[in-house]
Amino acid sequence: MDHNAVPAPGPEFNFATHLLDRNRERGDKAAFTDDRGSLSYGELADGVRRMAATLLDAGIRREERVLLLMHDCNDWPVAFLGAMYAGIVPVAVNTLLTAEDYAYMLRHCRANGIIVSEALRETVESAAREAGMENLPMFVSRGSGELPAGAVHLAEALASATPLTTAADTSPDDPGFWLYSSGSTGKPKGTVHTHANPYWTAELYGRGVLGIREDDTCFSAAKLFFAYGLGNALTFPLSVGASVVLMPGRPTPDAVFERWVQDRPTIFFGAPTGFAGMLASPGLPARDAVALRLASSAGEALPKELGERFTKHFGVEIIDGIGSTEMLHIYLSNRPGDNHYGTSGTPVPGYDIELRDDAGDTVADGEIGDLFVRGPSSALMYWNNREKSRDTFQGAWTRSGDKYVRNVDGTYTYSGRTDDMLKVSGIYVSPFEVEATLMQHDAVLEAAVVGHEDQDGLTKTKAYVVLKEDAGVSEDELKSFVKSRLAPYKYPRFIEFIDALPKTATGKIQRFRLRQRKQ
């Protein structure tokens, strides 16, 4: 399937309306199932229209932003699509961050409302106070009991709303939603996506490459706030009338296995770290205990050996690919039946790939180059960040920040990042942010953080630490120190104490020398 084989959206296009229209005849079919029960396609459509009315009744206007901080549950797609139906822009954010992070996002996106899970309410209330935005209307999902002034229970608000019968008359290029993407500074960037972008990823990748069908049940370990998870568990399945299993908690091996066996998903979306943990688990189900027909991996390069072991056990391929928040989903991928473990496959039809050198010229096969991608799902910009937008979105091309090699057979192999950013379990981590936090400890003189491969060939953060004279601290204490000050996933998995960091004549840390050290 190529870009031209898929009809482009018309001049009036609202993505939420598009999904509701596609499933009008499936009213009784389960769209989503979470830990509390199922939500049918008919109930989803009603909930979306009630959500749209609720936000408008709260005084939130078209094109204004609403922060969406929610664990995966049936309320999530109702909130997200309800905002889009009203022409309001949902800003879906990571549930693993700190109040300080959310305060920054509230100010940066100039949110005019908050939709939040009860378990995260106190954190976002603290963030709103810090941002000076404590009077924003707040809708609390899955809560009970009394709420502070200005907050209402989402279920009650939806029940009392009159469904909005007509969606906002948006166009394909209107801002549809935001996702936050980290950069080399560690400051999150507000990535602005259009109403048409999820249409293109669903058509070109969900249907065109993965071949998702109406009779599939999809289950994604990657959460809905990730670009990857948003496609896996919302836009792809709803585009074909499939069903989705949602899990609010952490995707531990045992939690994933429970869903595999009980809910019988046919397509599972994960990341290499998760696959490694599952294959190492004593609770790994037998092949005949699950209904999987396909698995997908993204977020970081899938080691060849992991893919081969998974396929040997389950008889199912893991389709590995690379995507980005900026392109919304995967644009370079293996194919079912044409799978090359150890590579990221070939360009998704509808997308063009170029590998360029530092001068901007294309490189020959076998040579490392910076990956640029061109396709219809590229974000509009980073909000309020002209410099970064110009650097990343270069005309029709998007600079990925990844280095790749094109092999003679047309497949592409990952060769690292173009900056010092690390991708740990599919989430970017700034080494500078971790270093700065380590150095706040009284015992630490200097620190440098690099990527370190674990026994499964997956990248984890490793800190090299120089202690002050006569100071002492344990690895566990330093790990706990970082966890208490940053989002927990950013802490260094490995710490090595050394006498001095390698540096250039001008005093810059030579991280490449640390990467070359024998472990």
pLDDT tens for the 519 residues of the chain, in order: 455 689 999 999 999 999 999 999 999 999 999 999 999 999 999 999 999 999 999 999 999 999 999 999 999 999 999 999 999 999 999 999 999 999 999 999 999 999 999 999 999 999 999 999 999 999 999 988 899 999 999 999 999 999 999 999 999 999 999 999 864 445 789 999 999 999 999 999 999 999 999 999 999 999 999 999 999 999 999 999 999 999 999 999 999 999 999 999 999 999 988 898 899 899 999 999 999 999 999 988 888 888 999 999 999 999 999 999 999 999 999 999 999 999 999 999 999 999 999 899 999 999 889 999 999 999 999 999 999 999 999 999 999 999 999 999 999 998 877 777 787 877 878 787 888 889 889 999 888 899 998 888 888 899 999 998 888 999 999 999 999 998 888 899 999 999 988 876 555 678 778 988 865
Q: How far is CA 288 from CA 261, 292, 293, 315, 357, in A?
A: 10, 9, 12, 10, 48
pLDDT in tens, 264-311: 999 999 998 889 889 989 999 999 999 999 999 998 888 888 899 999
The closest of 452, 460, 471, 461 to 433, measured between CA atoms, is 461
Structure tokens at 362: 């294309």
Helices marked H in 23-171: 41-57, 75-85, 99-109, 121-131, 154-160
pLDDT in tens, 129-177: 999 999 999 999 998 889 999 999 999 999 999 999 999 999 999 999 9
Helices marked H in 241-283: 253-263, 272-279
Contact 131, 107 (CB under 8 A): yes
Please tell me the distance from the alpha carbon of residue 71 to that of residue 303, in angstroms, as a whole number. 29
Buried-state track 404-443, b at ≥16 Cβ within 10 A, e below 16 = bbbeeeebbbbbebbebbbbbbbbbbbbebbbebbeebeb
The closest of 34, 493, 15 to 223, measured between CA atoms, is 34
Sequence-separated contacts (24+) of 306-315 with Cβ below 8 Å: 306/272, 306/275, 306/276, 306/279, 306/456, 306/457, 307/275, 307/339, 307/341, 307/342, 308/341, 309/279, 310/275, 310/279, 313/279, 313/284, 313/287, 314/287, 314/290, 315/287
Structure tokens at 184: 């080399």
Q: For residue 194, give the amino acid letter.
A: T
Contact 502, 509 (CB under 8 A): yes
Residue with tokens 């869903």: 259
Please tell me the distance from the alpha carbon of residue 85 to that of residue 66, in angstroms, as a whole number. 13
CB-based contacts of 388, cutoff 8 Å, min separation 6: 183, 189, 382
The torsion region of residue 74 among left (phi > 0), alpha (psi -120 to 50) and beta comes to alpha
